[in-house]
Every structure is written in C-alpha cells, then in structure tokens.
Amino acid sequence: MIDQKHYNFAFLDENSKREIRRSLLKAVAIPGYQVPFGSRELPIGRGWGTGGIQITLSVIGKEDVLKVIDQGSDDSVNAVNIKKFVSACTGVEITTDSEAASIIQTRHRIPEIPLKKEQILVLQVPTPEPLRIVEPREAVTKKMHAEGEYSPMWLTLYEDLLRCGKIGISAEYPVLVENRYIMNPSPIPRYDTPKLNDSDCLYLFGAGREKKIYAIPPHTRVMPLEFDDIPFETENFTGKRCHLCGAEGVYLDELTDEETGAKYYECSDTGYCAKRREQGCRP
Amino acid sequence: MQTVKNNKKEKPILEVRGLTVRYGQGCDYCLNGQPLLKNSCPHCKTVWACNDVNLELYPGEILGVVGESGSGKSTMMKSIYFDFPVTEGSAYLQAYGAGKANMFAATAQQKKYIRNHMMGMVYQNPVLGLRMDYSAAGNIAEKLIAAGGRNFGSMTARASQLLEAVEILPGRMKEPPKNFSGGMQQRVQISKALANNPQVLLLDEVTTGLDLSVQAKVLDLIRRIRQEFGVSILLVSHDLAVIRMLADRTVVMLEGKIIERGLTDQILDDPQHPYTQQLVHSLL
Ligand SMILES: Nc1ncnc2c1ncn2[C@@H]1O[C@H](COP(=O)(O)OP(=O)(O)O)[C@@H](O)[C@H]1O
Ligand SMILES: [Mg+2]
Ligand SMILES: [Zn+2]
C-alpha cells in the first residue's frame, strides 16, 4: 500500500500538481472550455476516475476534508478505492457528510444538499466532448467550439423531438455555459443539471483518458440546451419516497423486491439518507 | 416571359468581379497569363477552373449559366456559396454592406451569416446538400437553426409550409431523403435553400439526371418559386432547353471563362461566339 513516507504529499510531484493547477486556473478563467493537460499515470486504471483524482490531488491540502461518491453512494467499490488511495497519500480526513466536506469527488451525481462557496465538487468525466455525438473528428469539434458553430447539436435535438416526440438524452445532457461553450456536464442525471447554474461552489471536471480539464466557477450561467417552446424536463419522482428515510423530492434509485417483484425507492445520495436517519427521519 | 432585367440603372443583387479559382499553385508561366491548354497549365498542370469571371444578377431575374462539363460552372457556384476560398476576385451582395463590401473578404462569422440568411444553394449532387439520414423537415430545420431558429414548433411549421410549396406532403416530412426519388430530393434541397427567404438562389444542374416528366415539374416549380419568393436565381445547366425555358439572360462559360453574354433568346437564336454557335447547332 502507498505510504506517505515514500511518496510526495498527494502522490503527484509538485511540478505535476503545479501544471495541473495552471490548467485548472485556465479552465476557471474560460468556463466550459476544455483545457488539455498532461494526464499522469496513477496506480489506478484509466477509466476509474483518474482525471478526477488528479484534480483532487492537485488541489487538496492537509486541512481538507474529503468525500468521494459514485452514483451517489459513499460505499461503492470505486468510491472506496479512491478514498483509500487519497487518504493513504495525504492523510486527510474522510467524511460521508456533504456539508462537512471541503472537496467532494463524484461520478454520476451531485449531492442533494446545495453546496456552499468554500466547497469544490470534482467530477469524473469519461467523454468530455459534448459534440462527439454529432462529430467524430477532434479537429472539427475544436473548430466548432472556436466558431460557436453548434447547429449540428441543435439539429440532433430537433430530430429527436420530431421523430420521437422527446429528446432521448437522459444523463450527460449538454449545457451551454455563459452563452458561449457547449459543455458535457459528465454523466449526471437531468435532475442534477440545474444545480450547475449559478451555484455557490466551484465545479471542476477531469477526464484522465482524454486528458481534458474544464470548470464551472461559482455563479456561472449554465443552461441545458432547450428549444424556446419545449422546456427542459428533469426526472420526476412525484409520489415516490425513500423506503429508508422517507425523503421526497430527491433523486431516487428504483429497486425491485426479489420475492414480491414490487418496486420501491431509495435515496441515491446515501450520505444524505444516512444523515436524515441519524436525525430520526423514517418512512 | 422575359421581364427586362438588363436595365442598367437597376442595381444588381449580386455582382461577381474577376472571380478566379485555381486548383494548384501555378507557376511563372501560367501566373503571367500565358496561354493554357484548355483550362490547365501545360507546365505545372494547375487547373484554372474559373478564370476572371464577371457577372451580375439583377433583382427578380433568372440568369442562366451554360457550358460543357468541366467549364467551371459548379466551381463558380460553390465559390459564391463560400464552399471554398477563391484565389482572386470579389463579390458583392446588395444585402451585405449595401453592395459595397467584398463578401469574399468577410470574416468567417460574417460569411456564415451571409450564407445562412442571404443565399440558398441547390447542389447538382443532393448528397452535398442534404443529410440523407435525417428527416426532410430536419434538413430544412438545419438551415433555420443555422440562422438562429430555436423554436421547435415554428420551425416545424415552416418546414411543413416549405415542403408543401415544393409539393411534398406534410405526411412525409419525418421521412429521410434517402427514401425519396431524385426529383423529390431536389425539391427538398430547393425548400431548404428557400428556408430563410434568401435574396439569391443558386441552382446547380437541378434537373440533370431526372426523368423528363419530373424535369418539367421541377422547372415549373422554379418558375413559380421565383414569383412566390421574389428570389433572384443563378441557374447553372448544360442543357440549353432548360436555359431557354427559364433564363431571362444567359452567360456562356468555356474553360473557366465567360465567352458570351446577353438575353437568352439572343444567345440561342443568334449566337456570336464560334463555341456558342457550335453548342446551339449541335442541339438543333
Ligand atoms: N477539387 C478539384 N481539384 C482539382 N480540379 C478540380 C477540382 N474540382 C474541379 N476541378 C476541375 O475544375 C474544372 C471545373 O470543374 P467544375 O466546376 O466541376 O465544372 P462544371 O461544373 O462546369 O462541370 C474541371 O476541369 C475540373 O476537373
Ligand atoms: Mg457541375
Ligand atoms: Zn503553371
């Protein structure tokens, strides 16, 4: 196992961290713009959140408190591995409480409780390029971003609406940042998309395999692509509640009782659910 | 049939000056204007596809462009539509900078604006002008979106109206053009080109390759569209019958140059240039 005595604080050498921080600063300065960075090798396989981990390692300090979630859960294999690794090479305190964390690294979800201005949310991104679904060539998507030529993206949304009556994209719904760049918010559900707009916290996005970093600084305008007459819709959980804590109006995972075949629901944000139960909330 | 469009007091809606498009670098020989072998340089093989082309298109007119295959007609049309950069020359649209600014020198953003708002193009090959797998309505919406359209309902209504104008039933607007016949594909291209009420419509061999009966329908359509949309049309064809039916005035292209110009009847009934005479007589 990695031991702090044998490695630099936060595993990466200081030069690497500085370089990643420079990319982060550039990303913050140009919200939604994908900044290339020299993705480092880590003792974790690419595709397991190495982009996010590198960001976390570059910004973390001894006083930080870290939370790591995967699909909303603090206990999934991926989240646990990342926590073990970062904790081993930094010694920082680990928490499951979104409000207590100064850095939250996540995949597929944004916590239920609105994040505050001192907090940083680090999102792991598999495919940073939002235009990939309409254009396979990197050189062309770069040019499209440079020129703000987003018609093909709008056209696919149009085709979806015309042919299917609705837009088929569920997670990873493309957003327009500060009226300039179309950005992939990473595979968060639609339910989380509005949280990106005008938030108090800082969002950092890292794609290790594709070597890209981007950011949404606090109070940035982030809007899902929507037609004037067809409002963006999020997942709707009306009439459903968590079978553990009774929460309503939150993002719920659907589960099936193996014996009865009945469907029941559970908070996707396990930290949120646990805290509610500690406070005595019941179904 | 002919409205008088050579009234020189009227300002042209589109003016092209000294348009030259070279495929190749050129060499000391051809760059100094020495004689070419047809349209290419005998030394460096550079193709001078358009060579100092000048023309003007007047409001509401149909200007025919005739010439054999390889004479530079498509190259000229694609250059005007900014499909590729010109080697030399300038062009002026009445709607852009009051007809005083060279549109070839416009910025990429301005060109996009001109292309999406002021011009419409129908390519000889529908594959160049349409997304064959997208719906017919989506193809029209593409042009509306490019011009800033963001209202799904109004864009769909507009697509339906435009398809109806080219006699494609609204019931087929969700179908992709790949399911359509050649004549229908050209009609989808025409409706797409008209989507943003352009001042200028560029039609490159719209009827080539279509059955005669279908051809006649498309020709009627073009005539009707000129009236309904008040658009000026640059009509490229190697087919003199098409030119005679539709064009008010005509220019004749040969090896990248315009060698004769005038009223269509004049050109076809009393050609002056030996090449035009040969062209006209071979048809008789
Ligand atoms: N991409 C290209 N590269 C080199 N030569 C070309 C290219 N496109 C067209 N040409 C040449 O330019 C000339 C004009 O072609 P084109 O404009 O297609 O003529 P038309 O439409 O009148 O048949 C022809 O000699 C053709 O071979
Ligand atoms: Mg041609
Ligand atoms: Zn030469």
* Residue B223 identity: R
CA B226 to chain centre: 14
CATH of domain A14-133+161-224: 3.40.50.11310
Of A151, A162, A227, the CB nearest to B146: A151
The answer to whether the CB of B69 is under 6 A from ligand 1 is yes
Chain A, chain B: beta-carbon pairs less than 8 Å apart: 42
Distance of alpha carbon A65 from alpha carbon A74, whole angstroms: 14
Q: How far is the CA of B34 from the centre of ligand 1 (A)?
A: 20
Percent helix, strand and coil across chain B, each to the nearest 5? 40, 20, 35
Crossing angle of the two packed helices B136-146 and B182-194, in degrees rounded to 10 = 20
Count CA within 13 A, CB hemisphere, residue B15: 16
Q: Is A281 a catalytic residue?
A: no
A209 CB burial (10 A radius; 0-12, 13-18, 19+): middle
Interval B63-81: pLDDT, tens:
999 999 999 999 999 999 9
pLDDT, residue A39, reads 86
Q: Residue ranges of chain B with pLDDT lower than 70?
A: 1-9, 283-284
The span from the first CA to the last CA of chain B, in angstroms, equals 22
Q: What is the DSSP string of A34-69?
A: -EE--PPP-SS-TTSSHHHHHHHHHH--TT-EEEEE
Residue B132 Cα distances to A140, A157, B188, B204, angstroms: 20, 17, 11, 19
User: A275 pLDDT exceeds 60?
Assistant: yes
Q: Cβ–Cβ of A158/B155 closer than 8 Å?
A: yes
Nearest Cα residue to A204 out of B46, A147, A196, B207: A196
Nearest-CA residue for ligand 1 atom 12 is: B49
Interval B106-155: pLDDT, tens:
999 999 999 999 999 999 999 999 999 999 999 999 999 999 999 999 99
CA A108 to chain B, closest CA, distance in angstroms equals 29
Domain boundaries, chain A: 14-133+161-224, 236-283
ipTM: 0.90
- φ and ψ of A19, to 5 deg: -65, -40
Distance of alpha carbon A70 from alpha carbon A283, whole angstroms: 24
Q: How much is the average pLDDT of A24-37? A: 98
Q: How far is the CA of B72 from the centre of ligand 1 (A)?
A: 6
Nearest-CA residue for ligand 1 atom 8 is: B75
